[in-house]
Amino acid sequence: MVTIKDIADKAKVSPATVSRVLNHDDSLNVKETTRKRIFEIAEELEYSRKITKKVIKKLKIGTFYSYSPEEELEDPYYLCIRLAIEKKIKQEGHKKSVLSLNAPQDTINSLDGVICTGTFTKDMLKTIEDWNKPTVFIDTYSGTPQSDTITVDYKGAVQNILDEFIKNGHSKIGFIGGAPENPAESNEEDSRYIEFCDYLKKKGLYNENYIKICPYKAKYGRLLFKELYDENNLPTAIFASNDSVATGIYRAAYELGLDIPNDISVIGFNDIPGAKYMIPPLTTVRVYMEFMGEHAVEVLEHKIKDGRTIGVKVLVPTKLYVRDSVRKIQ
């Protein structure tokens, strides 16, 4: 514990002077520079004490992934995040324990904290909350004030996408995606879909006939693009809620004899590794998945070491990579 004598010795003043300064004794006749030095030294010593007290130890971190390895291959977004988490845990020398919802209590008790990725039902979130461990969620807001969240700036990203379409002369803009496999069990609506609707309504360009809601998988992008075509409701441009859905749209367009971007313009989301190799290369939003995974480990480390009980929300920006899948309408 830092004492008044410690501060006095470093400030080269008497303990009585330190005591009166720290207690804001206005009757004390002392220079402002001395007051300032005493406060600075007190803060410095107290901070140093806290740092010394918090011994840097190796942690045991639980990881909970709602997506199975098979589902990760369908939507590589969470695969990239998972690999980044595991790489960072290994680099930091921590131990990792992959969790299931029915993990034994002894396993939960042995953990210092938990990192969760994927999509979650309310029941799943309740189970995780009951673990009563410092927790960081990636791309999901848990609704509990104690948990931390690292998520994407969806509002800015969607506005950039729609502005790109509008800048290129598109007014008939559609959307495919925006729902988990079991929508009835979902904890929250897709922010991309919400922002898409809000922004186009403000621009006077919203048309519900151009919208198809489906899970984030290529097969649904293929199926629902064909539905739009068969219904004679094909817009000139489509925002795919992720790159997997975009690949399904590409496949459907090929099967229907349509050309991208001349017949239909497409923008995806996530910038998965294969996006730039699609034909034509896909214009898409780069989400910094590796950063999100790595930063989740860092946030959890600080949360544990600081004993912080108030949750924080980290909003990660995105970048639109313009390639060749959007046509300019003259």
Residue 132 pLDDT > 90: yes
Closest by CA position to 235, among listed 200, 270, 269, 202: 200
Q: What is the pLDDT of residues 95-131, one digit of tens each?
A: 999 999 999 999 999 999 999 998 888 889 999 999 9
54 dihedral zone (left: phi>0; alpha: psi -120 to 50; beta): beta
Residue 51 pLDDT > 50: no
Question: Per the structure block, which two tokens stand in for 240?
Answer: 């795919």
What mean pLDDT is predicted for residues 187-212? 92
What mean pLDDT is predicted for residues 140-152? 87
Q: What is the pLDDT of residues 65-84, one digit of tens each?
A: 988 877 777 777 888 899 99
Which pLDDT band holds residue 221 (cuts at 50, 70, 90)? very high
For 81, residues 6+ apart whose C-beta sits below 8 A from its C-beta are 117, 138, 139, 289, 290, 292, 293
Separation CA 96–CA 22 (nearest Å): 45
pTM of the model: 0.76
What mean pLDDT is predicted for residues 253-274? 94
Point out the least confidently predicted range of 48-57, 165-174, 206-215.
Answer: 48-57
| Per-residue pLDDT at 30 | 83
Residue 185 pLDDT > 60: no
Cα separations in angstroms, 228 against 14, 118, 171, 231, 325: 82, 29, 16, 5, 19
The number of CA neighbours under 13 Å toward the Cβ of 173 is 29
